Structure 1
Amino acid sequence: MVKKLLLLDVDCGVDDAQAMMMAFAAPNVHILGITCTHGNTNIENVCKNVLRVLKVCQKTEIPVYRGAGSSLLGNQLNAHHYHGEDGLGNVPDSDAPGLEHVKAEYAVNALIRITNEYAGQVSLVATGPMTNVALAFKMDPTFPSKLKYLYIMGGNMEGRGNVTICSEFNFAADPEAAYIVLNHFECPMYIATWEYCQRYVLPWEFFKEWVNQGTGKACFMKKITAHTVKFVKNMKVNTDESFEAGFLSCDSFAMAAAIDESVVTEYIHYGVSVELQGSVTRGMMIVDTLNQLGKQNQAFIMTKCDVEKFKQLMMSALK
C-alpha cells in the first residue's frame, strides 16, 4: 500500500490530540513530522502535549518541531476555558517527555525542508492558527506549490463565530496568517469550517463508548477530556446548543478528510478570503459566492460528512 504522506501543524489541545491519534491509527498514513504553533495554549505546552500524545501512541519516532509562539502581529489568544490551562485537561503526567525531545530545527524551516524533500507528495493538515504555514510561504514563496493538498480546520461559511460574533478561533488567533494562506496558496485546499463541525456533533452515547474501550489510549482520552466535558455540560448561558447536544472534535474532521477523502460526501467550491478590518467581523472567513474576487484557486469547503465512516476513524484512534 502506498501511504499518504502527512505533515501536521497543531496547537495541541484536546481535539488536536484526538486528530493526531486518528492519524497515528490509520494504516494508510505516514507522518513525516509535527510542527507546533501557539493557539489553544502557549507554545511550550503545545510541544509538551504533542510529545505526550506520541508517547501514549508509541509513536515517539515522529519528529516534533517548535514554531511560532504568537500571531504574525505578536498577539496571543488561548482556549484555556475549554482545553484546560495546559491544553490537555489539567491532568499532568510526571513521566511525560520533556522539551529536550523537541528537534532543534525551527518548525517553519522544517515545513519547507520536508516539503522540498517530498515535493508534490505531502499533504499538510493545519488544525491551529496558521502562523507557521504563512511564515513558510513568506520564507519560501514556492512552498505552497510543492504541497499536494492543504487541509484546514478553521474559518466559517455562515458568519457564525465561536470566540467573536463572526470569527472561528483558529482564524481569530491569527487573521493575517489565515489571509496569507487563503490568498496565496495554489495547492488544492480543503476546509472544515466551524459550522461544518457543528453540523456533525456526535451523541454523548458515542463519546461514552469511545472513551470506555479499555485501552491505554482510551483511558488517556477519558482523562484529558474530563475538563472539557464538564465545561460543556455546565454551559448554561448563551451559548451554543451544539455543544450541549453532544461531543465535538473539530480538528478530527480535517484529519479524517486527509486520511480518507470519502468521509466528506459534498463540498462547495468558492474563492475564500479573510476579513482583516471589520470592527466585529475581523477574522471572519469570506466565501465569495458571487466570484467578485475573481480567484483562480478556489477552496473546497466541506458541507456533508459520512458520519459512520467518521465514527469508525474515531473508534480506531483509541483501539
Structure 2
Amino acid sequence: MANKLVIIDTDCGIDDAQAIMMALAAPDVQVLGITCCFGNASVENVCQNVLMVLSICERGKIPVFQGSAGPLVGANKELSDHFGSDGLGDVIEDKDPLWKEKIQREHAVDAMLRLVSENHKQVSLVALGPLTNLALAVRLDPLFPEKLKDLFIMGGNMEGKGNVTLCGEFNFVMDPESAYIVLEEFLCPTHLASWEYSCRNTLTWEFFEELTNQDTPAARFMKKITSKCWAYSKSAMMNKRDVYFGPGFVSYDSYAMAAFIDSSVVTQSIDCAVRVELQGTMCRGMMALDQTNQLKKSHRICVMNKCDLAKFSRLLMDSLKLPLNK
C-alpha cells in the first residue's frame, strides 16, 4: 500500500498527542516530521511532549523541529490551562533533561519548506495548533502552498460560538493574523475541522473508558495524562458543554487527523469561501463562512459538518494499540 506522506504541525496538548498516535498507527501513513509551535503550552514544553509521545510509541526516529514561540503580530497571549500548564495534564514527573539534544537544529519552518519541496505535491500538512508556522512558511516561500498535496486544519468556528472568547476558537484566537493568512493564501485543497464540528460529533464517556483501559503502553500513557485534567472530567465537561452541544468525550485534534487518514470519516461538509475576522473586541479571530458568495473568492475550503462516528471510533481505538511494528 502506498504511503501517505504527512507533516504534523502541533502545539502538543493531550488531544494533539491522541491525533499524533492516530497517525502513527495508520498503516498507510508516513510521518516525515513533526513541527512544533506555541499554543496549549510553551513551544519548549510542546517539543518535550512530542518527544514523549514518540518515545511511548517507539517511533523516536521521526524528526521533531522547534518552531514559533509566539504569534505573528503582537505579544504572546496568556496560554490556556485547558490541558494543564505543560499541555499534558501536569502529571509527568520524569521529564527528559536531555530533550534539547533530540530536537533537530533546523527551524520548524525551514524543515517544512524543505520536506515539501523534496516531495512536490505528495505531502499533506495536518495543522493542529495556531497557524503561525504555516503563515511564516508562505511568507518565506509564496509558492509553498502550491507544493502541498493538501492541508487539514483543526481550528476556527462556523457559527460565531467561541470556546476562549465570545466568538473565537482557541487556535485561531491565539494568532488571528496567521489564521487569516493561511485561509487567504493557501490555495491547495483545504479541509477544516471546526470547534463546532468536533463538539457535535462527540463520543460517549463509556467509549473513553474503554479506549483508555486498553492494556498497551499508549493507552496507559493516555490514561495517565487525562487522569487529573479537568477537560477529561466527565462531570466538569458535561456542565461546561451542555450550553451548546450536550455532554460527551471530544478529542478535538483527532477529527482533523481522522479526515486526513480516511476521507470517508467525513460524511457531510460545506464547501465555501471563508475569512477570519481581524477587527473588533468580540469577533477577532472568528471564522466567517461565505455561503452566499459575498466575498467573491474563487478558493473554497471543505468545512467538515458530519462524521461517521463508527469509523472515527475505530481510528481512535487503534491509535492506542501502539507500539506497532512499522
TM-score of the two chains, using structure 2 as the length reference? 0.94
1:297 is displaced (CA, Å) by 1.2
Q: Secondary structure at the match of 2:280?
A: coil
Q: Give, in whole Å, the separation in 2 of the partners of 1:173 and 1:61.
A: 30
| CA distance in structure 1 between the aligned counterparts of 2:14 and 2:151, rounded to whole angstroms | 22
Whole-Å Cα distance in 2 between the matches of residues 236 and 304 of structure 1?
Answer: 21
Contact 1:11 1:41 in 2 (8 A): yes
> Structure 2 vs 1, CA of residues 212 and 77 (structure 1 numbering), >3 Å: closer, same or farther?
farther
Q: 2:238 and 2:309 mapped to 1: Cα distance?
A: 29
Q: Does residue 40 in structure 1 map to residue 40 in structure 2?
A: yes
1:250-265 → structure 2 map (5 Å cutoff): 250-265=252-267
SS in 2 for 1:83: coil
Paired residues for 1:168-179 under 5 Å: 168-179=169-180
Q: Deviation at 1:168?
A: 0.3
Aligned-partner residue type, residue 16 of structure 2: D
What residue is the counterpart of 2:64 in the other structure? Answer: 64
Deviation at 1:64, TM superposition (A): 0.3
Residue aligning to 1:18: 18
Gaps of 5+ in 2: 322-326
Shift of 1:289: 1.0
The equivalent residue for 1:210 is 211
Q: Is the 8 A contact 1:40 1:77 kept in 2?
A: no
Higher mean Cα deviation, 49-58 or 87-96? Answer: 87-96
Tell whether the 8 Å contact from 1:190 to 1:301 is kept in structure 2 after alignment.
yes
The answer (yes or no) to whether the contact 1:235–1:244 under 8 Å persists in 2 is no
What does residue 108 of structure 2 align with?
A: 107
Aligned position for 1:83: 83
Q: Mark the runs of 5 or more structure 1 residues left unpaired by the alignment.
A: none
**Structure 2 partner of 1:312:** 314
- Pairwise CA distance, 1:231: 6.2
1 CA distance for matches of 2:276 and 2:292? 16
Is 2:304 the partner of 1:302?
yes
Displacement, 1:239? 3.5
Is this contact kept in 1: 2:82–2:231, CA < 8 A?
Answer: no
- Calculate the aligned-residue CA RMSD, in Å: 1.7
Deviates more, 1:132-141 or 1:92-101: 92-101
Deviation at 1:227, TM superposition (A): 2.5
**Corresponding pairs, count:** 319
What residue in structure 2 maps to residue 195 of structure 1?
196
Compute the displacement of 1:74 (Å). 3.8
Q: Deviations over 1:253-278 (max 9, x none)?
A: 00000001111111110001100002
Give a deviation string over 1:196-247, Cα, whole Å, max 9, x none: 0000111100000000011111100000012324664453897422687121
Secondary structure of the equivalent of 2:227? helix
Matching residue's letter, 2:10:
V
2:268 corresponds in structure 1 to 266
Q: Which residue of 2 aligns with 1:129?
A: 130
- Distance in structure 2 (CA, Å) of the matches to 1:207 and 1:78: 30
Rounded Cα–Cα distance in structure 1 between residues aligned with 2:180 and 2:226:
31
Q: Give the stretch that moved more between structures: 238-247 or 266-275.
A: 238-247
Following the alignment from structure 2 to structure 1, what is the Cα–Cα distance between the partners of residues 248 and 37? 28
Aligned to 2:324: none
Identify if the C-alpha distance between structure 1 residues 236 and 63 changes in structure 2 by more than 3 Å, giving closer, same or farther. Answer: closer
Amino acid in structure 2 at the alignment position of 1:71: P
Whether the 8 Å CA contact 2:130–2:171 is kept in 1: the answer is yes
String of CA shifts for 1:74-129, please: whole Å, max 9, x gaps.
Answer: 43345543201111011124263612100000000011000000010000000000
- Percent identity of equivalent pairs: 53
TM-score of the pair, normalised by structure 1: 0.96
Deviations 1:276-296 (A, max 9, x none): 002200000010111111111
1:4 and 2:7 correspond: no
Amino acid at match of 1:169: F
- Give the Cα–Cα distance (whole angstroms) in 2 for the partners of residues 311 and 230 of structure 1: 19
- In structure 2, what residue type is equivalent to 1:205? E
Moved more, 276-285 or 84-93: 84-93
Maintained 8 Å contact 1:82/1:231 = no
Distance in 2 separating the partners of 1:215 and 1:114:
32
Q: Counterparts of 1:49 and 1:77 in 2: how far apart (Å)?
A: 20
